[in-house]
Amino acid sequence: MSEEKRPSDRRQSDTIDTPSERTPERRKEERRKEKRVSVELWVEERDGEDKVFRRTGNLSAGGVYFDKALPHLPGKRLNLKIPLGLSGDVPVVRVWGEVVADGGPELGMGVKFLSFGGDGEKELRAFLEEID
């Protein structure tokens, strides 16, 4: 008989496989780097000539969650204008974001900010500090 390996001859590992990084427990952990602030603002979303206004549920320097919004699919890029206040004469931050999550059965979507126009990030951070 040749010296081919049989299943019983294979080396047995004494280590236990560790679970994947994407376990249900990990999904429940807070992974955001920026502090979220509950605030209700009407943000303008532009898509070519179309514009839609969406209500925020919370906002951070890293992204926004839109409450009760019909979501786009994850990966969609959005052009947003965020007013930094409630009156008509407030600074507006322009930002490009990407949809990273939908709200599931509750409707809504999470958007991660990718890039800001001008000093938008600095202005947004100052606004968030002021209202927190």
E strands, 27-107, where?
37-38, 42-47, 50-59, 63-67, 77-83, 92-102
What's at 76, amino acid-wise?
Answer: K
In a domain, 124, yes or no: yes
Sign, CA dihedral 108-23-28-128, equals negative
**pTM of the full structure:** 0.73
Residue 32 pLDDT grade (very low, low, confident, very high; cuts 50, 70, 90): low
In a domain, 57, yes or no: yes
Render pLDDT for 52-78 as a digit per residue (tens, 0 to 9).
999 999 999 999 999 988 899 999 999
Of the listed ranges 7-21, 47-61, 109-123, the one predicted with least confidence = 7-21
In a domain, 54, yes or no: yes
In a domain, 94, yes or no: yes
In a domain, 17, yes or no: no
In a domain, 93, yes or no: yes
In a domain, 20, yes or no: no
What's at 115, amino acid-wise?
Answer: S
